[in-house]
A and B are shown apart, each in its own frame.
Chain A
Amino acid sequence: MEDKTTDIIKLLKHQDKRAISLLYDKYGAALYGITLKIVQSEVLAEDVLQDSFVKVWKNAASFDEKKGTLFTWLLNITRNTALDTIKSAAFKRSKKIQALDFSVYDHEDWRVEQKPEHIGLRSAVDNLEEKYRLIIDLVYFKGYTQQEVVKHLDIPLGTVKSRVKIGLRELRKLFAESKVIIWIFFWWVASNLAG
């Protein structure tokens, strides 16, 4: 997977359009999922994803591997585009951003179509405690600052900070390579038993 990412970066740096196609195949669903969490509209999410990939293409040369991972870069572009979209959408409706209800997509209504590479990952997500998942969703997917999380969840800053720390550690445990293999194994056993 790492080698594939390196190849995509090379193509991107050489302004080869195949890079966008490969990026879309690899990260399109993840970015669409995150965009949906933010804009809560399939129509808007489609526009956001399109705008984001065009920005990625136009700013391909500005990607710096030393500053962060390819996915982080893509996520930042997509998240900012999505946030700008709801800001202008909210502005159009004369509503404040805070007034938007984020709860709709926080629940399990949206399920990824299971791809072979993601088998087992979904159950890893489910195994992350709700309170940590909520913090990571707000901060990582929706770009909340810790202060905004304090306001949104009405919990002290210290709690936010400790949940960020523990949440990320839990996530790491769940998604470490070896753990993923175990989850895949469990998933395989479970589906066989069920079948």
Chain B
Amino acid sequence: MDKEQFLASGLLEQYVLGLTSTQETAEVERWLRQHPELKEEVSAMQDALEKYSLAQGIKPPPHLKSKILHQIDSDGPENLLQVEPNNQSALLIRRSWTRFIWPAIAAAATVALVFTLLRNNAMVHDLRDAQEELVQTKAVCEEEAQRFQAFIQHPATKKIMIKGVERAPDLAVAVFWNPEEKLAFVDTSTLPSAPPASKQFQIWADVEGEMINLGLLKSAPQDTLLPIAFLQKAESLNITLEPEGGSPHPHVEDLVASSPI
């Protein structure tokens, strides 16, 4: 087949219209390689078809263009990387920022979510620990309260009211004294809530004329029983107002309350 025959065959027209089989396409492309002038024929036909299409165009609805551009704005192109054909070695990487904005937001959201979950988990743990602690404390408190209750109601427990001396006639400090259990407690609710500045109450036992320290008395925030030392031989209980931190020996002139047992 010579060139004239090839042109007369109509294969080139079929090729331009995409009607050729794979085999015919290969044949046409072989002709195009061997006779580059035929490429002009092809492009002239393509050009005519394009003009023919343009001539029959129908104007789309006016809103369509902005709709399309809007959708493209929210969608990135499929290809991440693009190699510049003229500059293969430089491997020019082009990115469209819109392509990365959604994955970036998703990644940030995921990190935030994981962080929140971990934090939540930690908080749940802390909460559980606190609850357990609370339950334990409550149990301890109840136990303590029961013990105090049992102590107060114990038949051997005596309630001693240490009466204020002349200079503090209103004072009356309650002490629970149990020689059987060898335990003693001061009811702090009966102490003056605020002792004079830089002074502290101290309790002493009088044993054969000697004052022995039983403990420092601090007014507690809540009404509570404050343990003090128990002395079997104590004959009386005395409270003095000592300098803060207490004294090894009582200042008898500062005695505020005293009662025999």
- Contacting pair A71 B53 (CB below 8 A): yes
| B65 within 8 Å of A (CB atoms) | yes
User: A118 to B96, alpha carbons, bound, how many Å?
Assistant: 35
- Contacting pair B58 A33 (CB below 8 A): yes
Tell me whether chain A's interface is mostly helix, strand or loop, or mixed.
helix
Contact with A along B39-80 (1 / 0, CB 8 A): 000011111111111111111110011011101110101110
Which residue of A13, A15, A121, A139 contacts B54 across the interface (Cβ within 8 Å)? A121
Tell me whether chain B's interface is mostly helix, strand or loop, or mixed.
helix
> Which segment, of A53-61, A86-94, A96-104, faces chain B?
A53-61
Shortest C-beta distance, B129 to chain A (Å), equals 53
| A38 within 8 Å of B (CB atoms) | no
User: A58 to B147, alpha carbons, bound, how many Å?
Assistant: 80
- Contacting pair B78 A175 (CB below 8 A): no
- Closest residue to A110 on the B side, CB-wise? B58
Tell me the residues in window 63-104 of chain A with beta carbons closer than 8 Å to chain B beta carbons: 68-69, 71-72, 75-76
Which residue of B13, B60, B78, B82 contacts A32 across the interface (Cβ within 8 Å)? B60
Contact with B along A1-40 (1 / 0, CB 8 A): 0000000000001110100110010011111111010000
- Contacting pair B44 A53 (CB below 8 A): no
| B121 within 8 Å of A (CB atoms) | no
Shortest C-beta distance, A163 to chain B (Å), equals 10
**Interface size range of chain B in the complex:** 35 or more
Contacts of B59 in A (CB 8 A): 29, 32, 112-113
| B94 within 8 Å of A (CB atoms) | yes
- Contacting pair B75 A28 (CB below 8 A): no
| B140 within 8 Å of A (CB atoms) | no
User: A172 to B73, alpha carbons, bound, how many Å?
Assistant: 39
- Contacting pair A57 B60 (CB below 8 A): no
Tell me the residues in window 133-158 of chain A with beta carbons closer than 8 Å to chain B beta carbons: 136, 139-141, 145-146
**Interface size range of chain A in the complex:** 35 or more
User: A45 to B52, alpha carbons, bound, how many Å?
Assistant: 20
- Contacting pair A121 B55 (CB below 8 A): yes
| B191 within 8 Å of A (CB atoms) | no
Contacts of B52 in A (CB 8 A): 121, 124-125, 128, 136, 171, 175
Shortest C-beta distance, A131 to chain B (Å), equals 15
Shortest C-beta distance, B43 to chain A (Å), equals 8
Can you list 18 A-B pairs with a CB-CB distance of less than 8 A?
A15-B77, A29-B58, A29-B60, A34-B53, A49-B60, A50-B71, A57-B75, A59-B77, A71-B53, A75-B53, A112-B59, A118-B57, A139-B19, A165-B14, A168-B16, A168-B45, A171-B52, A176-B44
User: Which residues of B does A touch, CB under 8 Å?
Assistant: 10, 13-14, 16-19, 43-61, 64-65, 67-69, 71-73, 75, 77-79, 82, 94, 96
